[in-house]
Structure 1
């Protein structure tokens, strides 16, 4: 945007004051008039001194004030127009503020499903058990653009065995018993594969209350560790790149990444406790490169927002 230079208007002339006549001639103590300095004689050949001018007509002052007022109004209108223009533009349309592609996936517009009549939201004051009254399947994150849907995880209910298959075989029996003891109601899941080979799977486990969901989190030893190991992982560690500012009110995430060196694929996983629901989000990609961090954290944040 070309800068606009505002030229300042000339300062108005200050009207000369008419000389004041002395009220009286000062006298000495003897009553003799004090000596008055004589006026210097005119210089020969010099032009006669201009006669003293009286106050200028007020129109010149008014015109100067009008010019300054107009300049201020023009400057203010230019600034206001720029601010309104920036406010109405997309971020990518503003020079210097364009966001370069950072690998985020393109998700459809998200919206929360309608609640049954008279049912409160999970973290409202009238819902001490923090129950999600909406259909859990409608709280699953949808697949982004370009994804190939998983034929087994289509966004509907899945059997417990499908969830157990995510974990190591030697741990499945113990985990199965934990789920039975935790009053598990049902599991919803969705999965997809992206063009770069990244596989995403999300499970939502719903219990009778927030107490049961939190108890299972404790039984899985999720906290400083990733709990019961899932298939294909060696050593998981807390993801230090996770920003606590991205936390959704009411939802507590535990974010992990597989530590190098890893095997034939790299795994990122996260558990999120949201009232009566426990979410498990998994991203994997085969090869020697790590699973992309940004789309994983993007998926986790959006899923947490749906649960919150």
Structure 2
């Protein structure tokens, strides 16, 4: 047994180890292991070398594809927006689904125009006496759309009393030198009598003579809903005579088409000028009166508006007719 404890030296000195042996893991060289290159994504393939032939061409193609995709999306949005705008603006608002307004009974009248005045005459608004110098028939409302005329007003005569004897057709030279014809008018001339004011007796018709009615014109139609409208215009010598006639006519509580009536104290009727008196029939259907009556006075003219329907007169249509007839007389 040797007692030599001198440490060994030489080549064999490291062959013996005291304690457990720890093996060292070699550190990989990034230059030799491309997978450990921190500049590369391990989830993707090898990054293209920008200096390799074709790398710039590939990047250019990708940029062009991206630009085409963005441009196509913008073009699609513009085309879609333009098409939607055209579809909404081209038709009438009431024809667009979801925007249609329910019909409340009002009529579709043609564009209203005032008749021409005689030379030197002024409109009622500019006249001190508030007189109407225009053709009385042309101051009546025209027929609304889809209405059927109940009076022969398609070809009215140019004068209150048409000639009884027919005249020969004028020659072309005479027609060329003749004065231009009057524009078409809405109504027709009628005599100042009981039928003109739709009265049931002569008690009220006599006032036409007392207040010196100078002329009367009539218009009438039946609308698509069955409502019948009768319009009458009476011209007097002055505003005072018209006001006196209006005061008596407004007390007429019934007509040949409407039975007992009552004053409409609660209704609101937009009157352009003058005064108005409205009566509604006692008979009703579905909550609406079967007859509505309005007397209007504007200057030297008194107007009568009567509307009847066994199923009830539409309130909006009656207000519309009264307002428009009043505006033509203002």
The two structures have a TM-score, normalised by structure 2, of 0.56
2:208 matches 1:191: no
CA contact (8 A) 1:251 1:307 kept: no
Following superposition, the deviation at residue 201 of structure 1 comes to: 0.5
Consecutive unaligned residues of structure 1, counting only runs of 5 or more, are: 1-88
CA 1:163–1:143 in structure 2 vs 1: closer, same or farther (change >3 Å)? same
Instruction: Pick from 260, 264, 272 the counterpart of residue 239 of structure 1.
Output: 264
SS of equivalent to 1:279: strand
SS of equivalent to 1:296: helix
Q: Which runs of 4+ in 1 moved over 4 A?
A: 89-98
In 1, Cα distance between equivalents of 2:264 and 2:141? 21
Matches within 5 A, 1:199-210: 199-210=228-239
- Aligned pair count reads 209
2:301 matches 1:277: yes
2:267 matches 1:258: no
In 2, Cα distance between equivalents of 1:91 and 1:216? 45
For 1:213, the equivalent position in structure 2 comes to 242
In 1, Cα distance between equivalents of 2:260 and 2:237? 32
2:159 matches 1:137: no
Matches within 5 A, 1:96-115: 99-115=101-117
In 2, Cα distance between equivalents of 1:300 and 1:165? 16
In 2, Cα distance between equivalents of 1:94 and 1:303? 32
Consecutive unaligned residues of structure 2, counting only runs of 5 or more, are: 1-90, 155-186
Which of structures 1 and 2 has the bigger CA Rg?
Answer: 2
CA 1:236–1:278 in structure 2 vs 1: closer, same or farther (change >3 Å)? same
Following superposition, the deviation at residue 150 of structure 1 comes to: 1.3
Following superposition, the deviation at residue 140 of structure 1 comes to: 0.5
The two structures have a TM-score, normalised by structure 1, of 0.60
Following superposition, the deviation at residue 218 of structure 1 comes to: 1.6
Measured on the aligned residues, the alpha-carbon RMSD in Å equals 3.0
